[in-house]
Amino acid sequence: MDIVLHLGAHRTASTCFQYYLQENALALRMQGVEVWGPRHTRDGMLTGVLPVSGSVKTAADQLRRARGRIGLARHRARESGIRQLVISDENMIGAPRANLRNRKIYAGIGERMARFSDALGGEVKRIALSVRAQDTYWSSVIAFAVGRGHKVPDQDELDRLVTSNRHWRDVIRDLSCAVPSAELIILPYEQYGSSPELKLKQLTELDNPPLTHAREWINRSPSLGQLRQVLKDRGQDPAQLPAGEGRWQPFNQAQTMALRECYADDLFWLRAGADGMATLIEETGNSETGKTLRPPQTIRGQDNGTEERRLA
């Protein structure tokens, strides 16, 4: 049985993908594919892979128990005829709040994924990671954080994010070193975010992935109007945010251009072969452009404005 990991990243439509997998779980099982999404991974299945603070057990004991628990579940899946196990949980690689606190993207991904690989018996066949332009990635992370109580960042804090020396290629290098035996594929959010069925096809190589529930947009970051209301409800000055509606862009023009240049450098490195560590998958089924435009979809959760409705 092949083990395939979908690791997000956060704010790259990972929740939409997991909803799609969950709603199509029965159809996928009939094709020999079992899905472990957050409902499985965050309900005790992976507890102990990363040391739980305050536990009376040592980190080694916690990992050993997690390895056994996961092994039993894998055995049951294999015995039931499952050929591929897809595990999707973006929290495996870290948390957005830690990225904001450290002003770096997934600084601990290497150690974390080495432990997850160990817990899975070192049998991970393929890993998919989505990347996103840093200006829209950080904007989405910041908007989501402010909506949940984080303070509005000032220009100095934004500058520190822009001048961070950690980029997607650093994340990919760490991930490749942590799980060297797995095939690592990179799926740009700008092309795959709106097409979970195409993402699944790259993960599993299914010829006909289901289309049901493939156009629902979930867990959007809050819009400017919603954020101003959040600040007002918290007794803070909503004038900290600019006027208008739609997606909030906290960065100024120079900062935005610097972040876009970083992403262009990351994509250049990937297209040049990524030093043999990863494969960038840009084709999404449109032979003329190599891109897929977002079809009409049902929106659940926050509305993030027209910019997030339109993907290249």
Place of tokens 């601990």: 108
In tens, the pLDDT along 216-242 reads 888 889 999 999 999 999 999 999 999
Burial (CB count within 10 angstroms: exposed 0-12, middle 13-18, buried 19+), residue 69: middle
In tens, the pLDDT along 52-66 reads 988 889 999 999 999
* pLDDT for 284: 58
Report the sign of the C-alpha dihedral through residues 98, 109, 184, 18, in that order.
negative
pTM: 0.89
DSSP 8-state class, residue 44? I
Residue 293 has pLDDT above 80, yes or no: no
Q: Do the Cβ atoms of 56 and 4 come closer than 8 Å?
A: no
Tally Cβ neighbours within 10 Å of residue 270. 22
* pLDDT for 55: 86
Domains identified in the chain and CATH numbers = 2-146+166-220+263-309 (3.40.50)
In angstroms, rounded to a whole number, what is the distance separating the alpha carbons of residues 116 and 120? 6
**What mean pLDDT, rounded, does the chain reach?**
90
Q: Do the Cβ atoms of 45 and 175 come closer than 8 Å?
A: no
Mean pLDDT, to the nearest integer, of 232-255? 95
Burial (CB count within 10 angstroms: exposed 0-12, middle 13-18, buried 19+), residue 276: exposed
